[in-house]
Every structure is written in structure tokens, then in C-alpha cells.
């Protein structure tokens, strides 16, 4: 089973409620929620008040992708909001094992994200403590960037490292339908849908989702 995760950063903010309710009905696997602090990445997105409103609307699980410094300081806050996956950037913490323990203590699933330049091998010993890994296929911070082709090899490397563990591999950034197929063939479980798939301008989310879903699952 392969999963499609809409990144709500690409949704129309003025129609967020309608978009989330529609995506829930379509049967998405989880909402990919980007939180950016303007420090680790040069952009800001989805403050806690706005996210609190989102969690009251969305029924599907929330995958929090935290692009922020000091991720250990926000675990309790996002646990309180009902987040299911807490994904921190490996580059942002000096104590990833302790952070995973902290996340799971609060009842969430632990996930780590890797920037394109961070070697996959860095996660070798951390994998047993993780439920998911997000491989960035663009530099984090802005949507609409071009997919980095070497990501396919990184997926294969991570899948080999995770052999024997129940680890979900998510790929995030610049994914269109053809790229999604190649990512799945390389070994990923979850593809993030953004501007090039689910939220293409001039097309309905329903039509985009069905086209994406059929292509990914019947490739």
C-alpha cells in the first residue's frame, strides 16, 4: 500500500476548511503540515493558533513536519494539539535519541527529516527509534522547487538501512506523477502531493487526487 500525503502549505489558505474536509472525504492517509520558524529555513508557516484550528477540522492523522530550530522545545505543545507524527529535522538537534524518547512519551510517533545534503547513513543507529523518515528532495523552506534526481538513490540507501524495521519513508518536494512512480519503485512508502499534483491551479482537488491516486497505485 502506497500513501499520498497532501502538503497543506500548497492549499488555498482562504479555503483551508473546505479543502481539508474534501481531502478527508477522499480518503487521504494523512495531512502533511509544514511548520517553519524563519530561522532554520527562510520562511514562516502555520503558527500554533492556525494549526489548532486545522486540527479541529481535519479528521485524518496529522504529520507535523517541523522545520525549526530546537525541536525538543515544542514536543509538548504539538502533542497537546493532537499531532500523530512529530517529524523533526535531524540537522536541528544534537540529541536525536532523547528527542525520539520525548516524542513517544507524549504518545506521538517519531519521525526525522533529512535535508538533501545530509547523508542517509547518519540515521543508521537512529532507525530503530523512528516510525518514519522524510527525505527532502528539495531544499526545505519553499514549495514549487524542482525535484533533485539523486533522491532516488537516497531512497534505495535508506530502504536498505531500514531492512527489518517497520519504517515509513516519505519523500517531500517537487513531486509530480512520474516522479512519484519512480520514488515508489525506489522504495518509498509516502509521496507528498503539492503544487505539481493535488493543488494544480485551474483543476479541482477531487480530479487531481483521483488522477494521482490511480497513477501511483496502478503504475
Q: Which domain holds residue 93?
A: 3-217
Report the share of the chain in percent with pLDDT over 90: 81
Q: State CA 192 to chain mean position distance.
A: 6
pTM score over 0.75 = yes
What is the rounded CA–CA span in Å between residue 35 and residue 47?
A: 7
Average pLDDT over residues 67-84: 96
Look at the chain and report how many structural domains it folds into. 1
CATH of the domain at 108: 3.20.20.70
Confidence of residue 201 (pLDDT cuts 50, 70, 90): confident
Average pLDDT over residues 69-86: 96
Confidence of residue 169 (pLDDT cuts 50, 70, 90): very high
Catalytic, out of 34, 37, 131, 189: 34
Reading the block at residue 49, the C-alpha cell is 493558533
Confidence of residue 196 (pLDDT cuts 50, 70, 90): confident
Confidence of residue 202 (pLDDT cuts 50, 70, 90): confident
Measured between alpha carbons, how far apart are the two ends of the chain, in Å?
12
Contact 184, 217 (CB under 8 A): no
User: Is the confidence at residue 176, as pLDDT, over 80?
Assistant: yes
User: Is the confidence at residue 1, as pLDDT, over 70?
Assistant: no
Reading the block at residue 174, the C-alpha cell is 517537487
Q: Is 172 a catalytic residue?
A: yes
Confidence of residue 141 (pLDDT cuts 50, 70, 90): confident
Give the tens place of pLDDT for each residue, 50-72: 999 999 999 999 999 999 999 99
H helices of 35-149, in order, are 48-57, 75-80, 96-105
Confidence of residue 187 (pLDDT cuts 50, 70, 90): very high
Q: Is 12 a catalytic residue?
A: no
Catalytic, out of 76, 172, 176, 185: 172
pLDDT score at 200: 85
Amino acid at each position: 500500500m502506497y500513501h499520498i500525503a497532501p502538503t497543506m502549505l500548497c492549499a488555498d489558505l482562504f479555503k483551508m476548511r473546505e479543502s481539508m474536509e474534501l481531502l478527508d472525504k477522499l480518503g487521504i492517509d494523512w495531512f502533511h503540515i509544514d511548520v517553519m520558524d524563519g530561522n532554520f529555513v527562510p520562511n514562516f508557516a502555520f503558527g500554533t493558533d492556525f494549526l489548532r484550528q486545522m486540527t479541529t477540522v481535519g479528521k485524518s492523522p496529522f504529520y507535523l513536519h517541523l522545520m525549526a530550530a530546537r525541536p525538543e522545545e515544542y514536543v509538548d505543545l504539538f502533542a497537546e494539539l493532537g499531532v500523530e507524527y512529530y517529524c523533526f529535522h535531524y540537522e536541528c538537534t544534537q540529541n536525536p535519541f532523547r528527542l525520539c524518547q520525548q516524542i513517544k512519551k507524549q504518545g506521538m510517533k517519531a519521525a526525522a527529516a533529512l535535508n538533501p545534503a545530509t547523508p542517509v547513513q547518519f540515521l543508521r543507529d537512529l532507525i530503530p527509534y523512528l516510525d518514519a523518515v522524510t527525505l527532502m528532495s528539495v531544499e526545505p523552506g519553499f514549495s514549487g522547487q524542482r525535484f533533485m534526481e539523486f533522491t532516488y538513490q537516497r531512497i534505495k540507501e535508506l530502504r536498505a538501512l531500514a531492512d527489518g524495521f517497520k519504517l515509513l519513508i516519505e519523500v517531500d518536494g517537487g513531486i509530480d506523477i512520474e516522479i512519484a512512480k519512480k520514488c515508489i519503485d525506489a522504495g518509498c512508502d509516502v509521496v507528498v502531493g503539492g503544487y505539481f499534483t493535488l493543488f494544480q491551479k485551474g483543476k479541482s482537488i477531487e480530479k487531481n487526487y483521483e488522477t494521482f491516486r490511480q497513477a501511483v497505485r496502478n503504475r
